[in-house]
Amino acid sequence: MSVSTVSPIRRAATGVAISAAALALALGLGLTSCSSTPASSEKPSATAEQQQKAPVELADAWVKATDGDMSAVFGTLKNSGSSDVTLESASTPIAGMVELHETIVENGTATMRKKEGGIKIPAGKTAALEPGSTHIMLMDLKKPVKAGDEVPVTLKFSDGSTLEVPVLGKAFSGANENYDGGAEHAGH
Ligand SMILES: [Cu+2]
């Protein structure tokens, strides 16, 4: 449709041809921006934000020293951002499998299970990871964890950010909750 309106003008005097070309350009641009999403300035900044450092830190991070094949990471997740963030997964080179767990007490026995939906840290708030409660479970340990060891743990959040934290090995006699109803440890 733009061809039929532009070409008669273009055939007129040379002085008009320039403004006709300018008109055609304007029409072309107008059509292009109509077919693509106009609010293109918002999306790149959101992407840049996602690639920023995690708004969440894990303070006072420690991992229970053990010779066994399971341990857990504790500490305080602090969200300094303005949006709620969920810890979705974690990993460490020393464990074959890492899960986010919560502890529930049934018939006086503490049992751990996977925390569905991850661990939410509300904007400006903290979420505690502590023995007998929410924790990051390390399974299939590839080597013993000794007090004073520094274990690298990588946390992945719902906003796409990741955080690598050095976690300190610490001797602790608690945190022996059963897993999946296993009867080996008596809990607290
Ligand atoms: Cu656990």
Per-residue pLDDT band at 188 (split at 50, 70, 90) = very low
In angstroms, the CA 83 to CA 42 distance is: 17
Name the strand (E) or helix (H) holding 36.
none
Write out the two tokens for 118: 């991850």
What is the whole-number distance in angstroms between the Cα of residue 111 and the centre of ligand 1?
Answer: 8
What is the whole-number distance in angstroms between the Cα of residue 170 and the centre of ligand 1?
Answer: 17
Number of domains in the chain: 2
Domain identity same for 104 and 140: yes
Q: Among 158, 154, 136, 138, which residue's Cα sits nearest to residue 87?
A: 158
What is the whole-number distance in angstroms between the Cα of residue 113 and the centre of ligand 1?
Answer: 7
Asked whether residue 33 carries a pLDDT value surpassing 60, the answer given is no
**In the predicted model, what is the mean pLDDT of residues 21-39?**
43
Q: Enter the pTM of the model.
A: 0.67
What is the whole-number distance in angstroms between the Cα of residue 180 and the centre of ligand 1?
Answer: 9
Is residue 28 in some structural domain? yes
Asked whether residue 177 carries a pLDDT value surpassing 80, the answer given is no
What is the whole-number distance in angstroms between the Cα of residue 54 and the centre of ligand 1?
Answer: 24
Domain identity same for 160 and 80: yes
Give the single-character DSSP code of 12. S
Contact 75, 129 (CB under 8 A): yes
Of 59-63, 82-86, 178-182, give the lowest mean pLDDT range.
Answer: 178-182
3-state SS, residue 104:
strand
Q: What is the pLDDT of residue 19?
A: 53
Q: Residue 118, exposed/middle/buried by CB under 10 A (0-12, 13-18, 19+)? A: middle
The CATH number of the domain holding residue 123 is: 2.60.40.1890
Is residue 186 in some structural domain? no
pLDDT in tens, 70-117: 999 999 999 999 999 999 999 999 999 999 999 998 888 889 999 999
Give the mean pLDDT of the chain: 78
What is the whole-number distance in angstroms between the Cα of residue 136 and the centre of ligand 1?
Answer: 7
What is the whole-number distance in angstroms between the Cα of residue 95 and the centre of ligand 1?
Answer: 13
- Give the residue numbers spanning the domain of 9: 2-35
In angstroms, the CA 84 to CA 125 distance is: 9
What is the whole-number distance in angstroms between the Cα of residue 160 and the centre of ligand 1?
Answer: 24
CA dihedral sign of residues 44, 89, 142, 153: positive
pLDDT in tens, 127-141: 999 999 999 999 999
Per-residue pLDDT band at 173 (split at 50, 70, 90) = confident
**In the predicted model, what is the mean pLDDT of residues 53-73?**
94
Domain identity same for 30 and 65: no
Contact 173, 188 (CB under 8 A): no
Asked whether residue 40 carries a pLDDT value surpassing 70, the answer given is no
